C-alpha cells in the first residue's frame, strides 16, 4: 500500500525516465508493469502515452523504437486488417476474435488465450495521435510509418462505432466516450499532418462528432458511454489532448465540472468512475496526470501543480509510482483484500503513471 508523502520532484523526474527506458524491451515495446502478473504485455494505449513522455523528456530514440514496434505490429497484420475491413464494408459482422488485440507480447505476437478479454479500439487512435505528435516535435521522417498509418486509418474508419471494452477492459456491450475520443483524436491528428486519406479521416471524424452530439452528451456533458448519463475519468483525455470538443466550449466545461463533482478528490487524485471496485476503487496517478494536463492547458496552473504534487507524493521510497494510491479515500474498501489476494499489491511501477507525471511536469515547466 502506498501512503502519500511530501513530493520530491527532482528525484521523481529522474526515476521516471529511468523506469521507462530501463524497462523498454529490445523490440521497442514498453511493459505496462514489469513486476505485475497480468501486465507483462505492451498495450498500444499505455505505450503511446509512455512514448509521448519519452519524446518530451529527452529520450526521443526510445519513442522512435516504440513507434517502429507499433508499425510492425500493424503491418504484420495487413492481410487480417484488409479482410476485416472488406467484411465490414460488405455488411458482415465479424467475430470479436477477428479484430486486432489491444495488448501484445513484447515481440509483437498475439498474447493468445490468457483468459482475459482483448478487444479494444482506443489504443490505435491513441497511437496515431502520439506518433504524429512525436514526428512533428522532432522533425522525424514519416516514411517508415506510412503503410501502418494507412492500415490503422482504414481499420478505425471501419470499426469506430463497434461496441468494445473500454479503457478499463469493462462493459464491452457499450460504445464508450473515451474510446470515440481517442479514435477521433488519432484520425484528426493524421489528417492535420497530411499523413492519411483526407476523405476517410474527415468523414470519420464528422461521423463521430455527429454521433457524440446525438447520443454522447447528457445534461451538457460528455458521457461514459453512448446513451448513458455517468462520467468516467477517461473523458478527461477527450478534453486534453484529443480535443473531442473545444477546450473553451460549454460541453468541455460541463464535462470537467461533472468529473470534478463525482470522481476528483479535493486534495488531488482522481478515481476512474463511481462504482469502481478494482483494488477498492482507489485514486490513479495516471488520471491525476490527465486532469492536471487539462488544467495546465486551460490556465489553471495552481490546480495543475496540485495534481503534479499529489502524483509525486504517491511514489515509493525507491521513486516508483503505482497504478493506484489506495492509502485513503477508497470508493469500495471492502473489495481491496480480494484483489490483493488474487494478484498481490497494486501494480508498481506502472510505466503509464510515470509517463503522465513526466507529461504534466513538462506542461508546467518543472525540470530538475
The C-alpha cell 490556465 sits at 299
Catalytic residue among 8, 35, 110, 169: 169
Catalytic residue among 46, 166, 309, 363: 166
N-to-C CA span, the chain: 28
Grid cell 460528455 in the structure block, residue? 222
Query: Residue 237 has which C-alpha cell?
Result: 483525455
Q: Is 96 an annotated catalytic residue?
A: no
CA distance 203 to 16: 39
Between CA 121 and CA 227 the distance in angstroms is: 19
Task: Indicate if 166 belongs to the active site.
Answer: yes
170 catalytically annotated: no
Question: Which 3 state secondary structure label does DSSP give 111?
Answer: coil
Please choose, from the candidates 269, 258, 251, the residue with its C-alpha nearest in 3D space to the C-alpha of residue 229: 258
Evaluate whether 238 touches 255 at the Cβ level (below 8 Å).
Answer: yes
Which residue among 64, 188, 307, 323 is the active-site one?
323
Cα–Cα distance measured from residue 153 to residue 195, given in angstroms and rounded to the nearest whole number: 10
| Helix (H) or strand (E) run with residue 179 in it | helix 177-192
Q: Are 10 and 315 in contact (CB under 8 A)?
A: no
Segment holding 217, helix H or strand E: strand 217-218
Three-state DSSP at 285 gives helix
Active site residues: 166, 169, 323
Amino acid at each position: 500500500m502506498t501512503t502519500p508523502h511530501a513530493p520530491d520532484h527532482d528525484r521523481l523526474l529522474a526515476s521516471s525516465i529511468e523506469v521507462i527506458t530501463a524497462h523498454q524491451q529490445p523490440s521497442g515495446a514498453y511493459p505496462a508493469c514489469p513486476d505485475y502478473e497480468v501486465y507483462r504485455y505492451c498495450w498500444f494505449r499505455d505505450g503511446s502515452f509512455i512514448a509521448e513522455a519519452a519524446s518530451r523528456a529527452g529520450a526521443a530514440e526510445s519513442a522512435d523504437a516504440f513507434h517502429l514496434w507499433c508499425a510492425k505490429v500493424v503491418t504484420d497484420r495487413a492481410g487480417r486488417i484488409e479482410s476485416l475491413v472488406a467484411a465490414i464494408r460488405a455488411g458482415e459482422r465479424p467475430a470479436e476474435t477477428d479484430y486486432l488485440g489491444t495488448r501484445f507480447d513484447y515481440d509483437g505476437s498475439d498474447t493468445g488465450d490468457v483468459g482475459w478479454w482483448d478487444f479494444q479500439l482506443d489504443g490505435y487512435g491513441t497511437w496515431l495521435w502520439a506518433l504524429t505528435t512525436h514526428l512533428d516535435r522532432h522533425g522525424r521522417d514519416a516514411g517508415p510509418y506510412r503503410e501502418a498509418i494507412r492500415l490503422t486509418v482504414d481499420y478505425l474508419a471501419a470499426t469506430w462505432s463497434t461496441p468494445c471494452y473500454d479503457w478499463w477492459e469493462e462493459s464491452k456491450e457499450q460504445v464508450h466516450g473515451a474510446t470515440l475520443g481517442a479514435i477521433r483524436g488519432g484520425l484528426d491528428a493524421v489528417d492535420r499532418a497530411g499523413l492519411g486519406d483526407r476523405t476517410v479521416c474527415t468523414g470519420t471524424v464528422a461521423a463521430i462528432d455527429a454521433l457524440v452530439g446525438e447520443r454522447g452528451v447528457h445534461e451538457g456533458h460528455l458521457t461514459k458511454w453512448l446513451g448513458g448519463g455517468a462520467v468516467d475519468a477517461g473523458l478527461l483525455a477527450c478534453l486534453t489532448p484529443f480535443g473531442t470538443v473545444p477546450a473553451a466550449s460549454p460541453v468541455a466545461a460541463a464535462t470537467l465540472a461533472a468529473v470534478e463533482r463525482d470522481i476528483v478528490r479535493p486534495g488531488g487524485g482522481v478515481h476512474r468512475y463511481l462504482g469502481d471496485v478494482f483494488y477498492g476503487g482507489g485514486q490513479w496517478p495516471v488520471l491525476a496526470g490527465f486532469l492536471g494536463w487539462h488544467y495546465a492547458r486551460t490556465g489553471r496552473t495552481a490546480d495543475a501543480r496540485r495534481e503534479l504534487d499529489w502524483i509525486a507524493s504517491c511514489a515509493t521510497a525507491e521513486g516508483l509510482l503505482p497504478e493506484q494510491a489506495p492509502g485513503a479515500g477508497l470508493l469500495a474498501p471492502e473489495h481491496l483484500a480480494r484483489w490483493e489476494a488474487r494478484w498481490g499489491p497494486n501494480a508498481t511501477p506502472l510505466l503509464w503513471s510515470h509517463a503522465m507525471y513526466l507529461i504534466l511536469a513538462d506542461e508546467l515547466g518543472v525540470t530538475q
